[in-house]
Amino acid sequence: MTQKMAVDYDTMIPNNVGLSSDRRVLKALERWHPGYIKWWGNLGPVGFQESKVYLRTAVSVDSKGWAKFDYVKMPEYRWGILLAPQVEGRTIACGEHYGEPAWQEVPGEYRSMLRRLIVIQGDTEPASVEQQRFLGKTAPSQYDMRNLFQVNVEEGRHLWAMVYLLQKYFGSDGREEANEMLRRQSGSAETPRMLGAFNEETPDWLSFFMFTYFTDRDGKMQLEALAQSGFDPLSRSCRFMLTEEAHHMFVGETGVGRTIQRTCEAMNEAGISDPYDVEKVRALGVIDLPTIQKKLNLHYTLSLDLFGSEVSTNAANAFNAGIKGRYQEIKIDDDHQLNNATYAASQFIDGKITSMDVPALTAINMRLRDDYSKDALGGVKRWNQIISKANIEFELKLPHSGFHRKIGVFDHAPITPDGRVVTWDEWEKSRDEWLPSKADGDFIQSLMKPEWEPGKYANWIAPPRVGIDNKPGDFEYVQLHMA
């Protein structure tokens, strides 16, 4: 029997997990709720809490109508707890319990491991809202502003999803962890967010697009891996989160694409064919392609770090325990236990980049990272297509996985974007050719002027091809409320 898909809007917290008959968890969440709202008010989007935003809200989790569009003030957004439908007879997808029925309760032996995975995933969600809180003020259009806020409220909902699991299945330490989520703060010196990439402010819109393309894609891969979990409530949470995550990928891929498109258009209008004539291109008020490549280099490599060490016993344990699988685990044709399998893991030994076959079980992180890189390549191909359609000779590339790394075998190795090992002196000397310099950042910042009139777009970015929810070009996505 499939369980009822409709979402219960009777309780303060919309949900499809039967909260109204689960008084203990409902109470715990209702106690957590005011703190969350306070957090949203203090650290959520600055300056637009009173504006009405045309947002998508999930009203059911089945394929049709899982989202409705309407104007809503962000603090009044119906954050809720939505799990994908339970699959009858689902079994554990990997590890030593492969084939056994999926767990509906937390297995005691894996309790702390599971809690840690959920806490790490949960911590990234509010972190990105905090990182992006000032961006609304420089939105290049109403359309983009609306997309930013949609991403923000959904990250908020993803926090709810993880907090529900903590409150429901982890007793008093779960409650404690749920409170910690609101105590840590992106960029704080005393109580920073758990992962490095989530402690930097997102300073401008190109960074935001790169972040949603590259860093949210790490989120997607992690969610994909957790969706394979033998702990069924986690799997179901993550499966529904993935449907929302897709919108974030969309914002990133099309945001970078529209930036590139506008640059190419402006170059052609001005008769500039050399993409490296940075000064001339910048004089047009658009972002030159070499700078876009540098931003790509930065965000891609920061995101690679989020996958952790290539060879990791933690990851092996989680896989073996059946609580975190590989990307699309159930579609992989092998024993799902990796008893004798090997995997080629990167090595950096004596200043040389090589690879070595290691037990596949230990290389789970590396494999997920490889799947990520392949996934990330898709958008880069589309971006290059925009450039070649405009007859400009330039190609964006993903840098070598050893470039600009802080974690794993390439940690602080002097490797260039095309994978050459150089001396640190040489590396430092060329740094500004590969990564955004302060001057690059200042230039991008200088373009960040708000354009809030419906249907208008800042000069540095092209309009989208279709509106959200098929709305016309000059649709008022945000009814601004300026106190």
By the rule CB under 8 A, 481 interacts with other proteins: no
Residue in 11, 60, 179, 342 binding other proteins, rule: CB under 8 A = 60
Map the chain to HEC letters: CCCCCECECCCCCCECCCHHHCHHHHHHHHHHHHHHHHHHHHHCCCCCCCCEEEEEECCECCCCCCCEEEEEEHHHCCCCECCCCCCCCCECCCCCCCCCECECCCCHHHHHHHHHHHHHHHHHHHHHHHHCCCHHHHCCCHHHHHHHHHHHHHHHHHHHHHHHHHHHHCHHHHHHHHHHHHHCCCCCCCCCCCCHHHHCCCCCHHHHHHHHHHHHHHHHHHHHHHHCCCEHHHHHHHHHHHHHHHHHHHHHHHHHHHHHHHHHHHHHHHCCCCCCCHHHHHHCCCCCHHHHHHHHHHHHHHHHHCCCCCCCHHHHHHHHHCCCCCCCHHHCCCCCCCCCCEEEEEEEECCEEEEEEEEHHHHHHHHHHHHHHHHHHHHHHHHHHHHHHCCCCCCCCCCCCCCCCCCCCCCCCCECCCCCECCHHHHHHHHHHHCCCHHHHHHHHHHCCCCCCCCCCCCCCCCCCCCHHHCCCCCCCEECCCC
By the rule CB under 8 A, 76 interacts with other proteins: no
CB 210 to other proteins: min, Å: 15
By the rule CB under 8 A, 65 interacts with other proteins: yes
Please, which residue, 388 or 459, has the CB nearer to other proteins? 388
CB 458 to other proteins: min, Å: 21
* Binding flags for other proteins, 360-389, as an x/- string (CB under 8 A): --------------xx-xxx-xx--x----
By the rule CB under 8 A, 254 interacts with other proteins: yes
Please, which residue, 247 or 404, has the CB nearer to other proteins? 247
By the rule CB under 8 A, 452 interacts with other proteins: no
The residue range among 29-37, 178-186, 240-248, 363-371 that interacts with other proteins, by the rule CB under 8 A, is 240-248
What are 84's two structure tokens? Answer: 């994908």
By the rule CB under 8 A, 265 interacts with other proteins: no
Of residues 277-296, those binding other proteins (CB under 8 A): none
Of residues 129-188, those binding other proteins (CB under 8 A): none
CB 194 to other proteins: min, Å: 26
Residue in 157, 158, 247, 404 binding other proteins, rule: CB under 8 A = 247
Please, which residue, 151 or 182, has the CB nearer to other proteins? 151
Residues, the chain: 483
CB 465 to other proteins: min, Å: 6
Of residues 7-36, those binding other proteins (CB under 8 A): none
Q: Which residues contact 260 (CB under 8 A, 6 or more apart)?
A: 289, 292, 383, 386, 387
Q: Which residues contact 212 (CB under 8 A, 6 or more apart)?
A: 151, 248, 249, 251, 252, 255
By the rule CB under 8 A, 407 interacts with other proteins: no
Please, which residue, 60 or 437, has the CB nearer to other proteins? 60
CB 405 to other proteins: min, Å: 25
The residue range among 239-247, 301-309, 357-365, 439-447 that interacts with other proteins, by the rule CB under 8 A, is 239-247
Please, which residue, 97 or 258, has the CB nearer to other proteins? 258
By the rule CB under 8 A, 354 interacts with other proteins: no
Please, which residue, 185 or 254, has the CB nearer to other proteins? 254
Residue in 123, 253, 310, 440 binding other proteins, rule: CB under 8 A = 253
Residues that bind other proteins (rule: CB under 8 A) add up to a total of: 41
By the rule CB under 8 A, 477 interacts with other proteins: no
Residue in 34, 190, 472, 482 binding other proteins, rule: CB under 8 A = 472
Residues making contact with other proteins (CB under 8 A): 4-6, 59-60, 62-68, 70-71, 220, 242-243, 245-247, 249-250, 253-254, 374-375, 377-379, 381-382, 385, 465-466, 469-472, 474-476
